[in-house]
């Protein structure tokens, strides 16, 4: 009998108040849905101790940290050294999320760009993947990622990818990954699904961005890691693969990019 497919939720926010009352149950439901690993993301470095504790307490959970672009002008500017220091934790597996968001916070574009470049340098120094948030900033995002990659290679995932085909092509040309969230399962996301379908399947990750962006049939409700399985089914259909094959391919992609999480699992 084939093994049950194991799915990875590569990006969620388990420290958010939405989960405060039932975090153990949320993680248990994820595991029951074959979502066997989760990466919980710290969006403000001041919250790092809380996020780290979640990863330390729950074996299936890893963590990453950085300054979200929408907070870049409100938070103290993270130094490269600050980010490198976080990376010394054995379950810290990625740098970010960082990036550019001009939808609500275009007035802080210059600060966001400086923060992004610092996170990129930390990704270079640690060898950990950069986790990118991009919204309404495709041209600047493609330009900065390309400029910085020419200055020194680094790895990266475009988290919750929902941008246009030009940014997808730029990211893929640099060897980066695109992460498929519940948005890809929304009925009106046909153009986004076309972008994913045109990408190599070995560059696709899965995520929830929980508590946000729940896929059907839970749209409009609080998202949680267990619902990665719904997005995985949409992705399998998109790539013409069985559910098991798509789960295996995306999990292998995760292990390749988030190598530190893969090493932890092997050692466990």
3-state secondary structure of 144: helix
E strands in 120-185: 130-135, 156-158, 177-180
According to DSSP, the β-strands at 61-65 and 130-135 are unpaired
3-state secondary structure of 187: coil
User: Tokens 């990818």 label which residue?
Assistant: 161
Asked if residue 89 belongs to a known ligand binding site, the reply is no
Nearest to 110 by CA among 78, 140, 149: 140
How many angstroms separate the most distant Cα atoms in the chain? 56
Q: What is the DSSP letter of 201?
A: G
d(CA 5, CA 181): 18
Asked if residue 149 belongs to a known ligand binding site, the reply is no
d(CA 49, CA 68): 16
According to DSSP, the β-strands at 35-42 and 7-12 are parallel
Asked if residue 237 belongs to a known ligand binding site, the reply is no
Asked if residue 58 belongs to a known ligand binding site, the reply is no
Say if residue 146 is exposed, middle or buried (CB neighbours under 10 Å; 0-12, 13-18, 19+): middle
152 Rama class: left (phi>0) / alpha (psi -120 to 50) / beta: left
End-to-end CA distance of the chain: 25
Residues annotated in a binding site: 11, 13, 97, 133, 159, 209
Residues annotated in a binding site for a divalent metal cation: 11, 13, 97, 133, 159, 209
């Amino acid at each position: 009998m084939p093994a049950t497919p194991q799915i990875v939720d590569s990006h969620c926010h388990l420290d958010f108040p939405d989960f405060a009352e039932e975090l153990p149950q949320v993680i248990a439901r994820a595991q029951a849905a074959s979502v066997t690993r989760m990466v919980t993301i710290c969006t403000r470095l001041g919250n790092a101790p809380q996020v780290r504790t979640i990863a330390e307490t729950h074996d299936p959970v890893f963590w990453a940290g950085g300054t979200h672009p929408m907070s870049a002008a409100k938070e103290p500017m993270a130094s490269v050294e600050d980010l490198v220091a976080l990376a010394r934790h054995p379950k810290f597996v990625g740098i970010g999320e960082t990036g550019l968001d001009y939808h609500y916070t275009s007035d802080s574009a210059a600060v966001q760009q400086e923060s992004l470049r610092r996170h990129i340098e930390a990704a270079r120094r640690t060898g950990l993947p950069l986790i990118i948030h991009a919204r309404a900033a495709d041209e600047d995002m493609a330009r900065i990622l390309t400029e910085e990659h020419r200055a020194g290679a680094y790895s990266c995932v475009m988290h919750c990818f929902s941008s246009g085909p030009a940014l997808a092509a730029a990211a893929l040309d640099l060897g980066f990954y695109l992460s498929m969230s519940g948005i890809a399962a929304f009925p009106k996301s046909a153009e986004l699904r076309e972008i994913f379908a045109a990408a190599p399947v070995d560059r696709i990750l899965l995520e929830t961005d929980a508590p946000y962006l729940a896929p059907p049939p839970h749209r409009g409700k609080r998202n949680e890691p267990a619902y990665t399985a719904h997005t995985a089914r949409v992705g399998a259909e998109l790539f013409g693969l069985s559910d098991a094959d798509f789960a295996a391919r995306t999990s292998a992609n995760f292990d390749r990019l988030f190598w530190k999480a893969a090493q932890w699992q092997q050692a466990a």
